[in-house]
Structure 1
Amino acid sequence: MKFFADTAEIAEIRDLAATGLLDGVTTNPSLVQKSGRDFVEVLREITEVCSGPVSAEVVALDYEGMMAQAEKLRRVADNIAIKVPLTPDGLKTCKTLSSDGTMVNVTLCFSPAQALLAAKAGATFISPFVGRLDDIGSNGMDLISDIRMIYDNYDFGTEILVASVRSPMHVVEAAKMGADVMTAPPKIIHQLFKHPLTDAGLAAFLKDWEATGQQI
């Protein structure tokens, strides 16, 4: 499974990149707004740190507007993936861009039917939002299972990018289902390291080592 960081904070991206865990980055207007910086400047800096796909979202709602914004965004770097909404105009934009060799991330997916449409439009990534489905009383992970089955039935090349990840268990369950990618805030990725037995074992080893009076 590929790990993408869902953030626009350069320091967090650099930190994850240093671990070797970072395969890509996803951004959205809300994350860029939190950073307080210029959108294109942030994107350019992220692409310099991360060589994998970096999703940049259009904010227009019509095909012509999306294409105009996509043209500007994909000039930032070769590893930019244009993020478009799962709407008729969004999928029309997806088809045009993907046919031209541009990576496209179709976002705000909440149903298997929507995921099927995105794959047929040539999406590089489909982003189902599992956490937001959980928030309204649905099981978001059921959507991942359904999409995996549909894509495998027809050998679609679109990668399932699990988004709106709220906990380490979302990551684990997605991996068990065969999702291709997950994107999460850095704090969730760091939680994957944590286990009380790891902490207890390390503390015991260090205590025993100190008792030897030795140094390395």
Structure 2
Amino acid sequence: MKFFIDTADLDEIREAMSWGALSGVTTNPSLYAKTGGKLADFEQHMVKICEICEGLPVSAESTATTTQEMVEEGKRLAGLAPNVVVKLPIGVESLAATKTLAEDGVAVNMTLVFSAPQALLAARAGARYISPFVGRVDDIGSDGVASLEEIVRCIHNYDFGHECEIIAASIRSPYHVTAAALMGADIATVPFGALKNCVKHPLTAEGLAKFEADWEKVKNA
């Protein structure tokens, strides 16, 4: 399973890239807003991310609401850098836009997916990536992991005639990452804080503390 980082923060992306384990970046309007970014700087900000992650997919989300506007904005975003993936929320308008963009060679990441039928429609429309949300399903008292598993099984049942990868999104914890990997999700896109928690384990911390204490004994012997 590949790791994407779910952020628009340039420093977080740079640090995660330095680990050597990152395969891409996903962003959305909320994540960009958290950086304090302005509308006029949005496209240049996406370019900076693409430069940090040269050759790796970077999802930049369209905020258009009609099919035609999504197509126009999608093509403009795709023109910013060769590794831009246009992110669209699932819907009637965006399915039509995905079909047009895919036919023109523009990669689409269909987001805000919460059900297998939504995912199947996105795949049929030509989406390169499909992003089912896990944590947000948990938030409403349902089972986000079970929902993701249904989607992964349905998508992997079929050949859609183009490469289509599942991005497990709205990841909150290492447990979500493990569950996504066990069921065969292609990618997990993880916030920086949750990504750092994936590196940690209490027994690792305990072992390091013991190594350091024992080494102090060696130095002081």
TM-score by structure 1 length?
0.96
Match of 2:105 in 1: 101
The residue aligned with 1:137 is: 141
How big is each residue's C-alpha offset from its partner over 1:25-77, in whole Å with a ceiling of 9 and x where there is no partner?
A: 11111111111222112101100111311001111110111111112211110
Q: 2:75 aligns with which of 71, 75, 89?
A: 71
The AA in structure 2 aligned to 1:191 is: N
The residue type paired with residue 203 of structure 1 is A
Whole-angstrom distance in 2 between the partners of 1:112 and 1:201: 43
| Structure-2-length-normalised TM-score | 0.94
User: Which structure 2 residue ranges, 5 or more long, are not aligned?
Assistant: none
Q: Whole-Å Cα distance in 2 between the matches of residues 34 and 142 of structure 1?
A: 30
CA distance in 2, matches of 1:65, 1:12: 31
Q: Structure 1: how far apart are the matches of 2:34 and 2:203? A: 36
Displacement of 1:152? 2.1
2:183 aligns with one of 177, 184, 187: 177
C-alpha separation in 2, matches of 1:167 and 1:196: 15
Paired letter, 2:34: K
Letter in 2 for 1:19: W
**2-structure distance, mates of 1:99, 1:147:** 24
Q: 1:90 and 2:112 equivalent? A: no
Between 38-47 and 173-182, the greater mean CA deviation after superposition:
38-47
- Report the residue type matching 2:47 in the other structure: R
Provide, for residues 136-164 of structure 1, a one-character-per-residue CA deviation record: whole Å limited to 9, x for no partner.
11101112211122122213431110111
Question: Post-superposition, which runs of at least 4 consecutive aligned residues in structure 1 deviate over 3 A?
Answer: none
Q: In structure 2, how many angstroms separate the alpha carbons of the residues matched to 1:151 and 1:33?
A: 32
Q: In 1, distance between residues paired with 2:76 and 2:135?
A: 31
Give the Cα separation in 1 of the matches to 2:68 and 2:101.
12
User: 2-side partners of 1:72 and 1:155: how far apart?
Assistant: 30
**Equivalent residue, structure 2, for 1:27:** 27
Residue 167 of structure 1: aligned partner? 173
Count of residues in Structure 1 that have an aligned counterpart in Structure 2: 214
